[in-house]
Amino acid sequence: MSHPDFSWTNPNRLRSVVSIFAGANLEAFHAMDGSGYAFVGDVVLKVDKTNNQIAARLAGSFSLWRKYGPERQALMRAQLERIKDSPGVSKDVYEIASKSLAA
């Protein structure tokens, strides 16, 4: 993300970095300390202010949280709760987080 070609405002670049992190770098995304989940959660909340559709897509990275062990479930659920309860969160992101928690 510190590469000169990366841009927070370019949806394709943002999605290619963060979606690949969450979907293909499973070791880092599912780190037992929750740092991968926190990273994606932080990105969702940051991007939601400028592009709520991309943020909603990225929030979907947590949608399968029930398929993991109890420790990871708790960490992923905590990120969904944090995203859902953030002041000013967009309707799109709120909907994904809420549905993921309810599913």
Q: Which of 95, 101, 27 is nearest to 64 (CA)?
A: 101
Give residue 17's region: left, alpha or beta (phi > 0; psi -120 to 50): alpha
Q: What is the pLDDT of residues 15-53, one digit of tens each?
A: 899 999 999 999 999 999 999 999 999 999 999 999 999
Residue type, 80: L
pLDDT of 73 over the 90 cut: yes
Alpha carbon distance 91, 88 (integer Å): 9
Mean pLDDT for the chain?
A: 95
Report if pTM > 0.85: yes
